[in-house]
Amino acid sequence: MTSTVLPSAQRLVIKVGSSLVTNDGKGLDHTALSRWAKEIAELARQGKQVVLVSSGAIAEGVARLGWSSKPSAVHEKQAAAAVGQMGLCRAYEAAFQEYGLTCAQVLLTHEDLSDRTRYLNARSTLLTLLQLGVIPIINENDTVVTAEIKFGDNDTLGALVTNLIEGDALVILTDQTGLYTADPRSNPDATLVRFATAGDEALEAMAGGAGSSVGTGGMYTKIIAAKRAARSGAATIIACGRETDVLTRLAAGEAIGTQLTAHTTPLHAKKQWIADHLQLKGRVTLDAGAVRALKQGGSSLLPIGVSAVEGEFLRGEVVSCIDGNGVEIARGLINYSSQETSRILRHPTGQIEAILGYIDEAELIHRDNLVIS
């Protein structure tokens, strides 16, 4: 393979990190933003729909507030994000207007994507904007989120947005060349991985920690993001954003950086939503027989195959299914609350009504609402 997937891709999610839109974390780099607007305008001219996931709000807020460094207190980060988001939007609007394009601000939280109704509303809004020829600019809503409910980084957000809109490709632009077989800073034999399959466990072993003092995501987060995006059939390209005309060259088919291709059949939309939950309400431990039934037989999860329950959850919430070693083997929408599940576990379906006084479903998790990890 010598070319990228971008020439044939029609719907793209492009993520640019903080180091590519700020002056070393000290306010926005307006020249860089103009460059991204120019390249995205060219992609739009080619008939491609583009969603831009951009960092930079907190860095811009820190600069506008006159602070010497990024704060550590949550409320100060939220204040910086609130101030900086104004500047980020204004700068992008001015940059895209030069090329006759309209852009829109969309701020998301994990709760927006974990709630089914809000998830579908966000999807409808983004697809409508794309149909109107508008460039959605997405960022996490840092003014309201806390550490417990954050996406964690914009690599993850980019992957979830790719799944949300069923994008053809996710392009992660960073200050690194791509994924290497080892850390090139310490291993002179390290070589660039040009093409690989998303989800290959060997890739996670190759990926190191954060390589930038400005951003929050290292190469590992990008590999995991590619794995997530692959669930909806999207390929991921990890490339250096400092390459000249990197987006237009990728769109022309030039191989730049690392391309990770999806190899699995895309999940059904509802199962995709289940798989993309980052925070789960609880988990149930399965015995060996239930693990085999789920992984090999494609079966529903029955109460008799569950040996333990952790956490507090309600009917219809997403829970993790783990084996005896604590490894997640599936997740799904559970039909009974944690208290109800604790009472019926290890019992056959025929005894549910006698134990609870009623029966909602014969299965603890129906296979149509179950995603194998």
Q: Please write the tens of the pLDDT for every residue from 174-210.
A: 988 999 988 777 888 889 999 999 988 888 888 864 4
- Residue ending a domain, choose from 210, 237, 271: 271
State the CATH number of the domain containing residue 161. 3.40.1160.10
Question: Do 139 and 104 form a contact (C-beta atoms < 8 A)?
Answer: no
Q: Is 177 annotated in some ligand binding site? A: no
Q: Is 219 annotated in some ligand binding site? A: yes
Q: Is 38 annotated in some ligand binding site? A: no
**What pLDDT is attached to residue 362?**
92
Residue 261 and residue 287 in one domain:
no
User: Does 267 reside within a domain?
Assistant: yes
DSSP assignment of 23-56 = STTSSB-HHHHHHHHHHHHHHHHTT-EEEEEE--
Residue 124 and residue 180 in one domain:
yes
Residue 204 and residue 284 in one domain:
no
pTM: 0.84
Q: What is the percent of the chain where pLDDT is above 90?
A: 68
Q: Is 217 annotated in some ligand binding site? A: yes
H or E stretch at 139 = strand 135-140
Q: Is 15 annotated in some ligand binding site? A: yes
User: Does 355 reside within a domain?
Assistant: yes
Residue 29 and residue 176 in one domain:
yes
Residue 339 lies in domain:
280-372
Q: Is 261 annotated in some ligand binding site? A: no
**Residue 182 token pair:** 């080892």
The secondary structure of residue 16, as a DSSP letter, is E
Q: Is 221 annotated in some ligand binding site? A: yes
Angle (CA) 185 187 188, round 5°: 95
- The gap from C-alpha 263 to its chain's centroid, in whole angstroms, comes to 18
Q: Is 26 annotated in some ligand binding site? A: no
State the CATH number of the domain containing residue 293. 2.30.130.10
Number of domains in the chain: 2
Residue 209 and residue 108 in one domain:
yes
Q: How far is CA 370 from CA 39, 82, 88, 329, in A?
A: 40, 38, 40, 10
Backbone angles phi, psi at 101, to 5 degrees: -110, 145
Q: Is 175 annotated in some ligand binding site? A: yes
Q: Is 271 annotated in some ligand binding site? A: no
User: Does 71 reside within a domain?
Assistant: yes
User: Does 84 reside within a domain?
Assistant: yes
Does the pLDDT value for residue 92 go beyond 90? yes
Q: CA 163 to CA 233: how far, in whole Å?
A: 8
Q: Is 222 annotated in some ligand binding site? A: yes
Q: Is 155 annotated in some ligand binding site? A: no
Question: Do 250 and 243 form a contact (C-beta atoms < 8 A)?
Answer: no
Q: What is the pLDDT of residues 228-270, one digit of tens each?
A: 999 889 999 999 999 999 999 999 999 999 999 987 778 887 8
